[in-house]
Chain A
Amino acid sequence: EPEVTQTPSHQVTQMGQEVILRCVPISNHLYFYWYRQILGQKVEFLVSFYNNEISEKSEIFDDQFSVERPDGSNFTLKIRSTKLEDSAMYFCASSLDRVGVAYGYTFGSGTRLTVV
């Protein structure tokens, strides 16, 4: 069964450093997303990406965050200057249709980001 692949599975970084989280969505999917889950809290939407541009972003997704689909297969989330409160599990997801109402989203296993 097709998978969304995320790397690395765990990343530790110092406060103020830039991090790039990487994802390989399912190849025929058209919509791409980043979500995050702070320990003990709900899964929160960050950004959606369609047709090579951001289609929606949340209040969390401020100027410190950016997304890119550099080569038609990878999808990345960059955090320019990490803060302690950025520590969370970051999930990449992809879907064939908007919201995944036909077949659902497929989520990756996540990257656990720890900012020290």
Chain B
Amino acid sequence: QKEVEQDPGPLSVPEGAIVSLNCTYSNSAFQYFMWYRQYSRKGPELLMYTYSSGNKEDGRFTAQVDKSSKYISLFIRDSQPSDSATYLCAMNSNSGYALNFGKGTSLLVTP
């Protein structure tokens, strides 16, 4: 079983929609959970991070972590065409240096 699984999409939504992006993982040692946004031919850019379980909100973005289900989510409210990008989940344990990435979900927000 792969450590981090993420549906690659593509996901296409109309402008203003609520977007839900998800990842599942298998390693119960993961404690740090992050969402990165990657535009074409660019490096990943950190959007949100969460330590352990719970919710975190930042503007139109909400990150949720459910460690009991090994499931994390990113919600984007009032989606904009500028949100069109690939969204990567990433996670790590208390002891390692390496981020473990999902494959990324390609999101297209149409005007």
Contacts and interface: CB of A to CB of B under 8 A. Distances in A.
Q: Do A and B come from one complex?
A: yes
Interface in B64-92: 88, 90, 92
Given A42-B102, A45-B100, A99 B43 contact: no
Contacts of B34: 100, 104
Contact of A99 (B36, B45, B92): B92
Interface size classification for chain B: 20 to 34
Tell me which of A41, A104, A106 has the highest count of chain B C-beta atoms within 10 A of its own C-beta. A104
A42 B104 contact: yes
A56 B34 CA distance: 20
A46 to B, nearest CB: 9
Contact of A4 (B43, B46, B51, B104): B43
A109 B92 CA distance: 22
Contact of A48 (B45, B98, B101): B98
Contacts of A98: 97
Interface string A101-113: 1011111111010
Nearest to B88: A43
Given A44-B101, A101-B32, A110 B96 contact: no
A84 B4 CA distance: 27
A104 to B, nearest CB: 3
A31 B97 contact: yes
9 contacts: A33-B97, A42-B88, A42-B103, A43-B104, A45-B100, A98-B97, A99-B92, A101-B51, A104-B34
Interface of A: 4, 31, 33, 35, 41-45, 48, 50, 55-56, 58, 91, 93, 98-101, 103-110, 112
The 7 closest A-B CB pairs, nearest first, are: A107-B43, A104-B46, A45-B98, A48-B97, A56-B97, A43-B101, A42-B103
